[in-house]
Amino acid sequence: MLEQSIPLLELLKEEKGPILLASHENPDADTLGSALALCMFLKKKGKKAFAGCKDKVPHFLEFLPGAQEVIKLPVDEVFSLAIVVDASGFYRVNAEVKAFRKARIDHHIGGDFYGNYDYIDPEAPSTTALIYKLLCAWDKSAIDEGIANNLYAGLATDTGFFRYSNTNAETFHIAKELVELGAKPHWTFVNFSERESINKMKLISRVLDTLTLHEDGLVAGISIFDRFFKETGCEYADSEGLVNYPRSLEGVEVAYAIIEKPEESLWKVSLRSKGKVDVAKIAEALGGGGHKYASGCKIGAKSYQQAMETLLNAIRDGLYREGLVKHAVSQTT
Ligand SMILES: [Mn+2]
Span 219-257, pLDDT tens digits: 999 999 999 999 999 999 999 999 999 999 999 999 999
Q: Are residues 236 and 324 in the same domain?
A: yes
Please give the pLDDT value at position 253.
98
Give the chain's end-to-end CA distance (angstroms, integer): 57
Please give the pLDDT value at position 49.
98
Q: Are residues 173 and 295 in the same domain?
A: no
Beta strands at 294-299 and 266-273: parallel, antiparallel or unpaired: antiparallel
CA atoms within 13 A on the CB side of 228: 23
Please give the pLDDT value at position 4.
45
CA of 167 to the centre of ligand 1 (A): 13
CATH code of the domain containing 119: 3.90.1640.10
CA of 25 to the centre of ligand 1 (A): 13
Range of the domain at 214: 198-332
Tell me the whole-structure pTM to 2 decimals.
Answer: 0.87
pLDDT at 324 over 90: yes
Q: Are residues 92 and 240 in the same domain?
A: no
CA of 305 to the centre of ligand 1 (A): 31
Residue at which a domain ends, from 174, 193, 212: 193
Q: Are residues 267 and 282 in the same domain?
A: yes
Please give the pLDDT value at position 1.
38
Q: Are residues 57 and 97 in the same domain?
A: yes
CA of 43 to the centre of ligand 1 (A): 23
pLDDT at 127 over 60: yes
CA of 130 to the centre of ligand 1 (A): 10
Beta bridge partners of 103: 83
Q: Are residues 133 and 266 in the same domain?
A: no
Predicted confidence (pLDDT) per residue in 81-125, tens digit: 999 999 989 999 999 999 999 999 999 877 666 667 899 998 999
CA of 122 to the centre of ligand 1 (A): 10
Q: Are residues 165 and 236 in the same domain?
A: no
What average pLDDT does this structure show over 244-271?
A: 96
CA of 134 to the centre of ligand 1 (A): 16
CA of 19 to the centre of ligand 1 (A): 21
Comparing CA positions, the residue from 24, 294, 65, 68 lying closest to residue 191 is: 65
Q: Are residues 171 and 221 in the same domain?
A: no
Helix (H, G, I), strand (E, B) or coil at 240: coil
Grade residue 328 by pLDDT with cuts at 50, 70 and 90.
confident
CA of 129 to the centre of ligand 1 (A): 9
CA of 329 to the centre of ligand 1 (A): 31
Count of the separate structural domains present in the chain: 2
CA of 323 to the centre of ligand 1 (A): 29
Average per-residue pLDDT for the chain: 94
Please give the pLDDT value at position 7.
83
